[in-house]
Amino acid sequence: MFRYIYNKLKYSGFLKTMSNAGEQELIESKDDIELKTITGSLQSDLELIREVMGTSPDIKIHEFRYGENCEFKGAIIFVDGLVSNEIITDSILKPLKLYRNFNNYQQDSIQQTLDTVKQTIICAGEVTEKHTIGEVVESCLSGDTVFISDGFDKALVISTKGWEKRSINEPQTESVVRGPREGFTENFRTNTALLRRRIKSPKLRLDHLTIGEKTVTNVCVAYIEGVADPGIVETVKARLKSINTDSIIDSGYIEQFIEDHPFSIFPTIGYSEKPDVIAGRILEGRVAIISDGSPFVLTVPMLFVESFQSAEDYYIRPFFASLIRVLRYVAFFLTVTAPAIFIALTTFHQELIPTTLLFTISAAREGTPFPAFLEAFILVMSFEILREAGVRLPRPVGQAISIVGALIMGEAAVAAGLVGAPMVITIALTAVAGFVVPEQMDSAAIMRIILLLLASILGALGIALGLLGILNHIASIKSFGIPYCTSLTFHHNMQDSYIRMPLWSMSKRPKGIASKDITRTNMEIPPSPIYANIPDNK
């Protein structure tokens, strides 16, 4: 269906004009200045840098003299706020200005002076040499400090990143009762560190690249070598490299640029805000994509069953976890179909409702002015509006909204006879059930409306057709080469789909995702209890 619409759009020339317009805007040749190399003349170099960077007050250029008799002229360039002032004073300026032993070395060449500065004087963690103005500016803007000096045809880039960052908090989207509470932050390095802290194996690879002409966003592909399928890793990298855009603000941008089915309502790339979840997925053989500036880390490939798995499922014992997981499927089905089923039953198939229930429902329908479908549609829509309002508004106002929503929408509308109480109950159930599967919440909202429309036209037949269409669609889509429905059908390993088997029984990584290193646990199944220091455990 979606492909059909896509084709229609394509033929209509709608897409073409859109994408053409985009391309023209995007492609912009690099400034010639940025390609120039450092000349060695401090004044002209600084001139060039000023020209590229403009005169923003946060760009600091500090010129000074150093050397035994202050014979060298130098300058550091940094962006205020992105750098750690302590590092600059303690590790760059102080040593440079106080160093007097240049004569101990043979000052044969400029290169050797540069080496002295680089190797002996500056006490920062990372010092690299850069040659072009463009590189210098880029390093500057990502928080490093650039040191240039008269006579040097190179610039030293000193790692001084140290901006204000949010501390590690408990994520608001995925809270757990039991399990780790830390969440990713907007800071790239913090995020990779959080991941490293969970997987200490040297095989954890963090492959780095930058995307975005203007934002120059650091993006990192994280996977475990030998566990992740190299094909998928390469695919991810290739797709990331193919992104040609000016900006990556959030990992959501990346998701939309690299997903398999941009016209599907189902997400084919998973995300999480929690390092433990991402670590778990990486250990299953998935590939994570960390993007600078976003606490949401992407994982691929994503399966449909993943939406129903919660981190907590693995931290609690399997029995309750399985029960909850089954309930999640039920809730998902309810949230997608409940309004449609209600409409189909009350407008087409009244004979299927038990007599007493029919009397109750029709008593509520008595005197309501709108057709049942319109009633349901209005309620579904107003719920979406309320939800949106609740999310966007500042918290104190949000409460007011929920009170207005609950009282006016529910109570008053029923009391005034505008909508029937059973309908309100159905929509409320739908709304509550929708929050159980957050990853599919947006797709569920769309499916709900489609099914509602179909049910109002064709009744149960419409629902059946709609569900068939949806099923057909999710069976046809893939995420990075892995069918979306893997683990949903009976010929795949289902140890972790409808119910969560005990951890010791999930001895293998999921088929299809992991490549070589398949074995996870290597112990007796089920593990027999071991007693130490108890001579006779009878």
Interacting residues toward other proteins by CB under 8 A: 8-9, 11-14, 17, 346-348, 350-351, 355-356, 358-368, 371-374, 377, 421, 453, 456-459
Residues 6 or more apart from 429 whose CB is under 8 A from it?
A: 334, 338
- C-alpha span between 47 and 264 (Å, rounded): 51
Our CB check for other proteins shows the closer of 52 and 421 to be 421
Q: How many residues are recorded in the chain?
A: 538
How many whole angstroms from its chain centre is CA 398?
25
Tell me whether residue 14 or residue 320 sits nearer to other proteins (CB atom).
14
The tokens for 118 are 């680089």
Structure tokens at 254: 């990346």
Choice between 39 and 347, CB closer to other proteins: 347
Least distance (Å) from other proteins to the CB of residue 385? 18
What is the full DSSP assignment across 47-99?
HHHHHHHTT-TTEEEEEEEESTTS-EEEEEEEETTTB-HHIIIIIIIHHHHH-
Residue in 14, 152, 12 with CA at minimum distance from that of residue 76: 152
Residue 350: how many CA atoms within 13 Å on its side-chain side? 11
The backbone torsions φ and ψ at residue 210, rounded to the nearest 5 degrees and listed phi first, read -115, 140
Element (H, E) at 45: helix 42-53
**C-alpha gyration radius of the chain:** 30
Cβ contact 120:48 at 8 Å: no
**Shortest gap between Cβ of 370 and other proteins (angstroms)?**
10
Q: Cβ of residue 361: shortest distance to other proteins, in angstroms?
A: 6
Distance CA 506, CA 494 (A): 10
- Which two tokens mark 102? 């240049």
CA 237 to each of CA 209, 213, 243: distance values in angstroms, whole numbers, following the listed order: 9, 17, 10
Closest approach of Cβ 364 to other proteins, in Å? Answer: 6
CB 348, min distance to other proteins, A: 7
> Would you say 179 or 410 has its CB closer to other proteins?
410
* Token representation of residue 247: 């900006």
CB nearer other proteins, residue 81 or residue 417: 417
Judged by beta carbon, residue 105 or residue 359, the one nearer other proteins is 359
Q: How far is the CB of 408 from other proteins (least distance, A)?
A: 18
Query: Measured from the CB of residue 379, what is the shortest distance to other proteins in angstroms?
Result: 14
The distance of closest approach from Cβ of residue 396 to other proteins in the complex, given in angstroms and rounded to an integer, is 33
Are the CB atoms for 38 and 131 separated by under 8 Å? yes
CB 236, CB 303: distance < 8 Å: no
Q: Closer to other proteins by CB, 7 or 89: give it.
A: 7
Least Å distance between CB 25 and other proteins?
20
Which DSSP letter does residue 139 get? H
Task: Give the closest residue to 428 by CA, choosing from 402, 458, 446.
Answer: 402
Q: Minimum Å distance from CB 531 to other proteins?
A: 51
Put residue 96 in one of left, alpha, beta given phi > 0 → left and psi -120 to 50 → alpha: alpha
Question: Closer to other proteins at the Cβ: 54 or 367?
Answer: 367
Q: Which two tokens stand for residue 307?
A: 């939406």
- For residue 318, give both structure tokens: 């399997």
CB 311 within 8 A of CB 273: no
For residue 421, the minimal CB distance to other proteins (Å) is: 7
Residue 176 in contact with residue 315, Cβ under 8 Å? yes
CA distance 239 to 258: 6
The Cα–Cα gap between 443 and 429 comes to 17
CB of 332 to other proteins, least distance (A): 25
- 358 or 441: CB nearest other proteins: 358
**By C-beta, is 148 or 364 nearer to other proteins?**
364
The structure tokens listed for 39 are 């000349």
Residue (190 or 360) nearer to other proteins, CB: 360
Nearer to other proteins, 366 or 524 (CB): 366
